[in-house]
Amino acid sequence: MNSIPQPGQSASGAAILCENISRSFAGAGVVLDHISFQVKSGEFVALLGPSGSGKSSLLRLIAGLDSADDGRLTIDAASGTLARGFVFQEPTLMPWRTVLRNTTLPLELIGCARADAQARAHEELRRVRLVEFTGAYPHQLSGGMKMRASVARALTTRPNLLLLDEPFAALDEPTRHGLQAQLREIWSALGMTVLFVTHSVMEAVFLADRIIVLSHRPARIVADERISLPPARSGDLRTSVDYLNEVRRIGAAMPAAEEML
């Protein structure tokens, strides 16, 4: 029986070093073309790019779900796979398990004691404000609640690298805004490194401190910008002039939609 993963010292994020990463897929050709970038420990970075640009492929490489054809990827994380949390585009909950049992899954897989796993799951469900729904099945939840359960599940191993693949794209706007603010809060509290894939300039600017913009496929990095907004972000920010100026600046760096070319 493994002991429950403990959070490291505060701001214990992982650092990522990508050097000349390339990846091709049969039928799709070259998807990632010599991508190089570096992420500092504890940074909140958005990977922004048009749809089909290979952002998700890059994230899967960093998650260890796929391997690059060429180049070197170094992740300075505490302890291998446990250090990574992944939130998928869909909530990907198991329909036959309750919210609580879905959340304990990663800890069960690594062999933690049931009581410890449940205590940790409760803690994370409280963090995403879902603790009163621990006994519910996924089909009884709204889209936003399912996604919160999915985020709680990713947090149970206390990853120092949290990877998110357009997790809020399918949600309605108020829900999406709420979850964005919540994610930013979680990051402030836990201090892990976050890599957030999105195609929305407004989402990227609201969430991240730094935005890496990818081109159309084959993906290359076309911009790497710091966002100068206050660290604490609330809903008010969305209507502020500073925010809108940043949106305009990043929007100008974003490649035009393919149909418009």
Residues that bind other proteins (CB under 8 A): 60, 63-65, 80-82, 84, 86, 88-90, 92, 94-96, 105-106, 108-110, 137-139, 157
Distance separating alpha carbons of residues 211 and 204, to the nearest angstrom: 7
The first and second tokens of residue 129, run together, are: 């404000």
Residue 128 C-beta: closest distance to other proteins, Å: 17
Residue 237 C-beta: closest distance to other proteins, Å: 31
Query: Of 69, 92, 90, 55, which is closest to residue 21 (Cα–Cα)?
Result: 69
- C-beta of 147 vs 202, nearer to other proteins: 147
**Helix 143-155 / helix 99-109 crossing angle, nearest 10 deg:** 30
Distance separating alpha carbons of residues 141 and 233, to the nearest angstrom: 27
Residue 192 C-beta: closest distance to other proteins, Å: 15
CB 196 within 8 A of CB 46: yes
- C-beta of 15 vs 136, nearer to other proteins: 136
- C-beta of 144 vs 167, nearer to other proteins: 167
DSSP bridge partners of 213 = 48, 223
Helix (H) or strand (E) holding 89, with range, is none
CB 87 within 8 A of CB 165: yes
**Helix 143-155 / helix 114-127 crossing angle, nearest 10 deg:** 130
For 231, other C-beta atoms within 10 Å of its C-beta total: 9
- C-beta of 107 vs 250, nearer to other proteins: 107
Residue 86 C-beta: closest distance to other proteins, Å: 5
- C-beta of 7 vs 64, nearer to other proteins: 64
Residue 169 C-beta: closest distance to other proteins, Å: 14
Residue 256 C-beta: closest distance to other proteins, Å: 30
- C-beta of 137 vs 253, nearer to other proteins: 137
